[in-house]
């Protein structure tokens, strides 16, 4: 694959670039919140720094290095503005799906460095086979960043002669790469948490998609590098957990700042004098550090195995799933505790705690970190074979 020169592509670590953009994300928080999509200035900077392409190979402007760096980037971005981190994370998934395209199709979909991507793994569309490829129709919900996207990766039920016509064990499900010209956005995203992600519904009516732009999780992988060998499912879960930890850090730092700022000489007790506040801050610092370490370590193990082209064991995969799901769950509990001990201050939008509380609950609604993945991890630990569809993918 020929290298493509991308503006803004440097040897800068994603985590360092995230620090650079976090200040702008904070300054643009109200615009992102009020317009229900990431502020244009932030989108522009993210694009310049290739944040929308981290899941691609280097030849297309991607990262292709240690995936722990992407986790650090998500956490930093989420601590500034969770909706920004969510859109970057969502683009990473849409780009990793591209590994299943052939080289020519991949280059066409991902060659423009200004392009942004969106996806939905929900099988809410139907694709009928025709001589030229497939006719796709459907309405997908919760398509984050759909107003920004140039390409969409959408899952459909494929219907051909003799195939099932409804979802079930034998359903033929595939991913379709579809340009924005075939997509209509329906304004449905009126929410609290992750308000800035613009996760509206989209509608497609009889869009013709060539066979070259249709893949599934069993399609051959055209790339051969350590990053492309990483499992999509648990790495995606790890990213979701990293964002959760970032939101926890934002709430924790906000509570500490409130304690340092609201000091009234001669009046006692101040916020910082409350035993519940002191204990919560200590607890949150310990939890954040320990869960981050466990998450990074489990992903680092997969990276080392992938670099050596070794197969991943179910236990190694389970370690990532468990670290992601439990880390995210405990982050949510900790943010709720911070919200409670901060008292009435938590109600005011001028404090990060208020939005953190909304965002963390929205993040944990995602299917990739639901409790059943802990059951899957537990199966591996007791010698059973995990049977979740995305456990090994």
Domains of the chain: 14-110 (1.10.540.10), 117-215 (2.40.110.10), 232-381 (1.20.140.10)
Model pLDDT for residues 280-326, shown as the tens digit of each residue: 999 999 999 999 999 999 999 999 999 999 999 999 999 999 999 99
Please report the sign of the dihedral spanned by the C-alpha atoms of residue 334, residue 335, residue 336, residue 341: positive
Asked if the model's pLDDT at residue 129 lies above 70, the reply is yes
What pLDDT is recorded for position 10? 52
pLDDT tens column, 334-354: 999 999 999 999 999 999 999
pLDDT exceeds cutoff 90 at 89: yes
SS (H, E, C) 18-58: HHHHHHHHHHCHHHHHHHCCCCHHHHHHHHHCCHHHCCCCH
Confidence of residue 9 (pLDDT cuts 50, 70, 90): very low
DSSP letters of 327-343? Answer: HHHHHHHHHHHHHHHTG
User: Is pLDDT at 7 greater than 60 in this prediction?
Assistant: no
- Sequence length of the chain is 393
Q: Looking at residue 376, what is its pLDDT? A: 98
Q: Give tens-digit pLDDT for 221-267.
A: 988 999 999 999 999 999 999 999 999 999 999 999 999 998 777 76
The angle at the Cα of 173, spanning 366 to 393, to the nearest 5 degrees, equals: 60
**Mean pLDDT, residues 42-61 taken together:** 97
Contact 255, 277 (CB under 8 A): yes
pLDDT at site 231: 97
pLDDT at residue 109 greater than cutoff 60: yes
pLDDT at 132: 94
Please provide the average confidence, as pLDDT, over all residues in the chain. Answer: 94
- How far is the CA of 300 from the CAs of 303, 342, 386, in angstroms? 5, 36, 22
Say whether pLDDT at 3 is over 70. no
Q: Please say if the pLDDT value at position 1 is more than 70.
A: no
The pTM (predicted TM-score) of the whole model is 0.95
Per residue in 145-176, pLDDT (tens digit) is 999 999 999 999 999 877 788 888 888 999 99
How far is it, in rounded angstroms, from Cα 73 to Cα 193?
A: 20
Q: Is the pLDDT confidence value at 209 over 90? A: yes
């Amino acid at each position: 694959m020929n290298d493509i020169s991308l503006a803004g592509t440097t040897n800068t670590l994603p985590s360092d670039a995230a620090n650079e953009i976090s200040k702008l994300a904070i300054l643009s928080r109200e615009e992102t919140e009020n317009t229900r999509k990431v502020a244009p200035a932030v989108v522009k900077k993210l694009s310049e720094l290739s944040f929308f392409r981290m899941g691609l190979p280097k030849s297309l402007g991607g990262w292709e290095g240690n995936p722990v760096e992407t986790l650090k980037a998500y956490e930093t971005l989420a601590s500034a503005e969770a909706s920004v981190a969510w859109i970057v994370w969502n683009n990473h998934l849409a780009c990793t799906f591209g590994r299943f395209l052939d080289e020519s199709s991949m280059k066409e979909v991902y060659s423009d460095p200004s392009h942004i991507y969106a996806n939905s793994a929900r099988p809410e569309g139907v694709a009928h086979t025709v001589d030229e490829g497939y006719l796709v129709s459907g309405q997908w919900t919760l398509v984050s960043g759909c107003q920004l996207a140039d390409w969409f990766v959408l899952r459909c039920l494929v219907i051909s002669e003799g195939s099932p016509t409804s979802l079930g064990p034998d359903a033929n499900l595939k991913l379709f790469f579809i340009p924005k010209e075939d997509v209509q956005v329906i304004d449905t995203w009126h929410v609290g948490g992750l308000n800035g992600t613009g996760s509206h519904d989209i509608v497609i009516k009889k869009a013709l998609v060539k066979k070259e732009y249709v893949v599934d999780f069993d399609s051959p992988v055209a790339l051969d590098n350590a990053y492309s060998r990483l499992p999509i499912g648990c790495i995606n879960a790890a990213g979701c957990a990293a964002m959760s930890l970032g939101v926890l850090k934002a709430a924790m730092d906000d509570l500490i700042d409130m304690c340092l700022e609201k000091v009234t000489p001669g009046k006692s007790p101040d916020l910082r004098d409350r035993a519940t506040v002191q204990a919560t801050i200590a607890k949150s610092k310990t939890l954040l550090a320990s869960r981050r370490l466990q998450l990074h370590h489990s992903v680092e193990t997969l990276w080392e195995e992938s670099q050596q082209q070794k197969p991943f064991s179910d236990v190694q995969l389970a370690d990532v799933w468990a670290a992601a799901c439990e880390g995210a769950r405990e982050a949510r509990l900790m943010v709720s505790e911070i919200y409670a001990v901060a008292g009435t201050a938590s109600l005011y939008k001028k404090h990060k705690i208020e939005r953190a509380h909304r965002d963390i609950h929205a993040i944990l609604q995602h299917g990739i970190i639901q409790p059943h993945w802990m059951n899957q991890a537990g199966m591996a630990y007791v010698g059973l074979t995990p049977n979740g569809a995305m456990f090994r993918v």
